[in-house]
Structure 1
Amino acid sequence: MKYVYKQMLAFLIVFVVTVLTTGIIFIRFFVTNIYDEKERQLFGYAEAIIEENMTLADISTGTAMISKQDVIVAMYNKNDRLVYPISNQTYSSGLSDRDWNRLVQGNRIALRQRDRGFMNEEIAIVTVYVPLFNYQNGDFEGTVAVAAPISGIKKDISHMQTGMLWATLISGGMAILFSIGFANYLSQRIVRMRKATNAITQGDFEIYLEDYGRDEFDELSRDFNKMVTSLKESNAEIMRQENLRRQFMMDVAHEMRTPLTTINGILEGLEHDMIPEKRRARSIEMMHKETRRMIRMVNENLDYEKMRSEQIVLTKQILNAQEILQTVKEQLQTKASSKGNTIGVSVSSPHLTIYADYDRLIQMLVNLTNNAIQFTENGRISLTAHASDGFTVIKVSDTGIGMKEEEIPAIWERFYKTDPSRRSDAYSETGIGLAIVKSLVANHGGEITVTSKIGKGTVFTIQLPNKENSDGQ
């Protein structure tokens, strides 16, 4: 069953239960009222007879006058014998001893259901009894009984029930129309959400549901919109990661193909004696170089994955900044000179220290310096260090080609290259160095930033906490 029909059914059930309950209560109320009103009327007749001190002749005349109102009058003496209407037979009131004693004590009695008349005729009547006392001595003289056929009361009740039935049918029809309209209104809002959900499954993340802030449906719409925004962002991130994965596979294939092609060509040349004897040593050296390049690329990727999964273990110690920077300069001086570059080292104090893992710190600085050399020709590369508020600040700057500001966030991705036309040169850069540097700095509890201007150069700044700051983190 569809939700709209369930709602309609629920509304109708609630309506029917409410109407039936209310109807039963009202019917009982009105029936009681009708009987009470009839009893008051009959008591009024009986009391009028007593107050007027009517004789039997007067009662007979009065009874003839009110007979059209379906009122029957009877009188019983103190011995419970019928004295009016006059009859050749003896009749009693038929009251129980308990009820007769109540009359003797001066209490009025009302009987709503009697199936016999005063002279034992078959008729359903409502009867009231009012005790009659002697005005002079106050002795109980008998009772005045006034009755009315129930048929007249039932006619009034029937008219009332008919009116209630019509009111129920009319209100029921209105309730059905209202339930259809209201259920359709609520269902339309659900249908709107279902259509929006289907749109999302088709990849449409621009869908938006109106939020009027009125009820739970609007709260659901608000949460739905948040979900769509989150899905949109997640989808964009998935697409970005997928593009990076594809680019990664292409770059790995490209980086591996170059050395493998070189090695394969040399091996074929050696196999077919196509390489002269005097060039064989150089060829073998090239194979060693390309092999080391592939090993370095594999190791760098393994290191990067270890750092991302926090599997790397750092052995931190206090290191002399001057010695560290000087070591990096000596390792890369030859490479820098091949491109016409010079490397300068400047430390604010000979006693300046760096709290870091020795091998990983050298790896960071070598990668940054290699990057500087890669994009600088006939320029200067500077390695500097100074202390600043519990941190050691290390800068690697160059006077190279620089980068655009929008390119800076992307340089930390694996295999990202600011210059698409760049290919591996004699020093075999893999394009993963900066990603490794960022991860290593983070593992040290530090921070790395970069500033750059096109044609002016680039500055990488590393902040590493000193021993006290690092141990406190």
Structure 2
Amino acid sequence: MKLIYQQMIAFFVVITALLAILGFSFFHVTKTLIYENTWNQLEGYAYSLKTQSMTIERGANGKQTFTLDIGKLQTSELLLRNQQVHFTIYTTRNKVMYPDQGYQSTISTSDWKKLESGQIIRRKSDLGWRGPDKAKVQNQQRMTDILAPCFDQSGQLVAVISVGAKVSSLQESFTKIQRNLFYVLLFSALLGVAISYLLAHYITKRISKLRNATRAVANGDFDVTLVDHKRDELDDLANDFNQMTSSLKQSNEEISRQEQKRRQFMADAAHEMRTPLTTINGLLEGLAYDAIPEESKEKSIELMRNETRRLIRLVNENLDYEKIRSGQIELRRTTFDAMNVIHNVAAQLKKKAQSAGDTIEVAGPTKLPVFADYDRFVQIMFNITQNAVQFTTNGVIRISAERGYKSSILRIADNGIGMDDEQLKNIWERYYKADASRRNTKYGESGLGLAIVQQLMEQHGGKVEVISKPNKGSTFTLIFPDEKGK
């Protein structure tokens, strides 16, 4: 069964049940009010009969005499008969004083006792008869009546007035009310069907929009969005859906970006390895066919060694990067003197810097404690300083160090070629080279140095920042936090 019909049935059942409860309650209350009004009216008639047509006189001997004004009673009987109201006056439980041929009913012993105590008896349906012949069933009638007691001055019950209206008259009123109520309920039920359909259609329409949007996402369209009016749970669901599509879109874009990186990585790695392999292969073929002069063989062998070392270094750096990135390398951090490492790195790269016409300067305190893994700290400083030498010609590379707030701060600055904003965004990517013309330079040719630096700094819980301007140079700032609790 479709959701719209399920919703319609649910709404219709609720509306119908509510209408039935309200209808039953209304009919019950109306019926009770009709009986109350009828009884009150009958009590009014009984009171009028008592005050206008009945007298109790005291004789000379002190005895009280109960008399009826027959003329007034007949007049009252004629008036009430037109309203289908009948009355009877009893002097005892089984003795009728007036009228002889009127409506009569039996008063039970318990009711008579209640009358003697002054209570007015109200009866919804009492079976009585017309005339003295109680055997004539065809004369039986059902009446709604009241029994009102009449007392003398001494408080003695002297008469009981029974005033009743035909139950059939009340039943006609009840039937009219039921009929009218049925028409109202029928109209309300039809209206409920229409309202149920509109409500179900409204809800299912919103759900259909969500379903169509879900299908669009399943087909790869992550730009679909739903309107969120912030009114109910469906709007909350629409908001969650929008967040989901946004996350899926970002994930899809990230997957595409990572796939592009993977392809670029494979291309760059193939390019980096192809050059030394081509060189080695050419030299080996030359040696195999004696195409290389005897005096050049030693130089060729040295060149092959250098290219082989380059391949080994490229493979090792790739493995090192993956281990660092995946957290497979365990850092053994201790506190040691960073200035000693800086001077050693400067000494190692001095010859390479001089070959490029560069000068390496070191500035800082005599000692500077740093909390880091010693070997990885050396690797970080060496990679960045070597990178500065690579992109600086006839310039100055300045390594400075200082204490920061609960940290050690080191800076490597050069006045080389520098980088623009676009290049700064990509320098941490593997195989990225800010200067493509230096792809085959002697130092830092793999393009992995800065990527390794970034990963190692993250492992240390530190930060690496870079400021650079084209043709002005670059400054790398390294911040190593102190050991916690110190």
TM-score, normalization: structure 1?
A: 0.88
Deviations 1:166-219 (A, max 9, x none): 222233333333333333333333333333333333443433433444444444
CA contact (8 A) 1:346 1:383 kept: yes
Aligned to 2:141: 123
Secondary structure of the corresponding residue to residue 410 of structure 2:
strand
Partners of 1:321 and 1:101 lie apart in 2 by: 117
How far off its partner does 1:142 sit? 3.4
Deviations 1:391-445 (A, max 9, x none): 4433322232211023213211111222345433344611111011122233334
Aligned to 2:246: 229
Alignment of 1:118-267 (within 5 A): 119=131, 120=134, 121-133=139-151, 135=152, 138-267=155-284
How far off its partner does 1:21 sit? 0.5
Aligned to 1:463: 479
Aligned to 1:307: 324
Partners of 1:126 and 1:318 lie apart in 2 by: 108
- Corresponding residue to 1:344 among 344, 360, 365: 360
Alignment of 1:402-417 (within 5 A): 402-417=418-433
How far off its partner does 1:317 sit? 4.5
Bigger shift: 104-113 or 417-426?
Answer: 417-426
Partners of 1:384 and 1:139 lie apart in 2 by: 126
- Corresponding residue to 1:66 among 71, 77, 80: 80
The amino acid across from 1:248 in the alignment is F
Flag as ranges the 4+ runs of structure 1 deviating above 6 A.
none
CA contact (8 A) 2:399 2:411 kept: yes
Bigger shift: 226-235 or 237-246?
Answer: 226-235
Structure 2 vs 1, CA of residues 112 and 237 (structure 1 numbering), >3 Å: closer, same or farther? same
Q: How many residues align?
A: 466
How far off its partner does 1:258 sit? 2.3
TM-score, normalization: structure 2?
A: 0.85
CA RMSD, aligned part only? Answer: 2.9
Deviations 1:229-263 (A, max 9, x none): 33333333332222212211221222222233333
Bigger shift: 247-256 or 92-101?
Answer: 92-101
How far off its partner does 1:272 sit? 4.5
Aligned to 2:58: none
Aligned to 2:65: none
The amino acid across from 1:125 in the alignment is M
How far off its partner does 1:129 sit? 1.6
How far off its partner does 1:28 sit? 0.7
CA contact (8 A) 2:128 2:141 kept: yes
Residue 89 of structure 2 corresponds to residue 75 of structure 1: yes
Partners of 1:157 and 1:264 lie apart in 2 by: 113
CA contact (8 A) 1:450 1:458 kept: yes
Deviations 1:358-402 (A, max 9, x none): 322221122112222322333333333344455443332223221
Deviations 1:324-376 (A, max 9, x none): 233323333343344x3223222233444544433222211221122223223
How far off its partner does 1:276 sit? 4.5
CA contact (8 A) 1:393 1:464 kept: yes
The amino acid across from 1:122 in the alignment is Q
Aligned to 1:37: 37
Partners of 1:87 and 1:460 lie apart in 2 by: 126
Residue 131 of structure 2 corresponds to residue 114 of structure 1: no
CA contact (8 A) 2:464 2:477 kept: yes
The amino acid across from 1:470 in the alignment is E
Secondary structure of the corresponding residue to residue 470 of structure 1:
coil
How far off its partner does 1:450 sit? 1.2
Q: Which consecutive unaligned segments of at least 5 residues does structure 1 have? A: none
The amino acid across from 2:420 in the alignment is K
Alignment of 1:270-285 (within 5 A): 270-285=287-302
Partners of 1:85 and 1:18 lie apart in 2 by: 50
CA contact (8 A) 1:81 1:93 kept: no
Structure 2 vs 1, CA of residues 150 and 92 (structure 1 numbering), >3 Å: closer, same or farther? closer
Aligned to 2:63: none
Q: Which consecutive unaligned segments of at least 5 residues does structure 2 have? A: 55-67
Structure 2 vs 1, CA of residues 152 and 290 (structure 1 numbering), >3 Å: closer, same or farther? same
Structure 2 vs 1, CA of residues 384 and 130 (structure 1 numbering), >3 Å: closer, same or farther? closer
CA contact (8 A) 2:361 2:396 kept: no
